[in-house]
Amino acid sequence: FFPFGFVSQLFGIFSLSNLFPVCCTRAVIKPKGYKAEAPNQVWSWDITYLASAVRGSFYYLYVVEDIYSRKIVCWEVRERESAEYASELIRKGCLAEGIRREGLILHSDNGSPMRGATMLATLQKLGVIPSFSRPSVSDDNPYSESLFRTLKYCPAYPGKPFESIEQARQWVHRFVQWYNLEHRHSAIRYVTPGQRHGGEDTALLEKRQRLYEVAKARNPHRWSGETRNWKPVNEVWLNPPKEIRAKDQKVGNSS
């Protein structure tokens, strides 16, 4: 017989996780990828907190963004999180954008307003296909997260809490107007989300490309390489496959 201490050491070495590593390792779930080649094919939405003047109390900003154009297609500020409020917002967004066919993808995280029975029933009625982030994966909803960073770190964001829900709504309205109509978004070649959503970006970018080519022809000594890439971004991915990520990284490094 082995001494008790030696048996304990053996048990530590040959534990179940060592003997059966495949069984004890958490399975890696690959996210489902979606490609948008035009507006109103894939939307992303989420809810973020807006501080109120009452300590520990918040207003809740619901925002839906088109991932192809980056346009904020609809938004609302409410006193609480609710699947009913969320479903009402999506109905308004579909009406405003003239969504009359099935196939729109609506991506979100796994919060209760996103998975509530009222919300899911509304999506089914509208012909909208729900998509959800993977459990415990923090970066599966990157478009909404990026938008909220832009909102909360913009210079105009209030330095103190909102005094009322009306004040919060007024500020968000001004932000959305600026974001959609004035903000030149780096991910879409520095056109505004509104221009991209309305199909104006192609002509604008062609004009920029010609201006750069003329400038280079006039002063070639000022250019060490090719001009900036002003070609429109023809497709946008949510959770792109590995080969697309590698291609985008290569293009980014060479541009």
Are residues 118 and 63 part of one domain? yes
Q: 121: domain range?
A: 34-184
- 241 in a domain, yes or no? no
Question: In this structure, what CATH number is given to the domain that contains residue 45?
Answer: 3.30.420.10
Are residues 221 and 145 part of one domain? no
Beta bridge partners of 74: 64
Q: Which tokens in the block code for residue 241? A: 């496959």
Are residues 179 and 74 part of one domain? yes
Nearest partner of 173 among 241, 244, 76, judged by Cα = 76
Report the distance separating Cα 80 and Cα 85, nearest Å: 9
Question: What is the number of other CB atoms lying within 10 angstroms of the CB of residue 2?
Answer: 9
- 76 in a domain, yes or no? yes
Are residues 124 and 206 part of one domain? no
Number of domains, the chain: 2
Nearest partner of 60 among 43, 77, 40, judged by Cα = 77
pLDDT tens track, the chain, 255 positions: 445 454 455 444 444 444 444 444 455 567 689 999 999 999 999 999 999 999 999 999 999 999 999 999 999 999 999 999 999 999 999 999 999 888 999 999 999 999 999 999 999 999 999 999 987 666 789 999 999 999 999 999 999 999 999 999 999 999 999 999 999 999 999 999 999 999 999 999 999 999 999 999 999 998 888 889 999 999 999 988 877 665 554 333 333
Are residues 207 and 88 part of one domain? no
Are residues 82 and 116 part of one domain? yes
pLDDT at 7: 44
pLDDT at 36: 98
Q: Half-sphere exposure (CA, 13 Å, Cβ side) for 184?
A: 6
Are residues 200 and 180 part of one domain? no
- 13 in a domain, yes or no? no
pLDDT at 66: 99
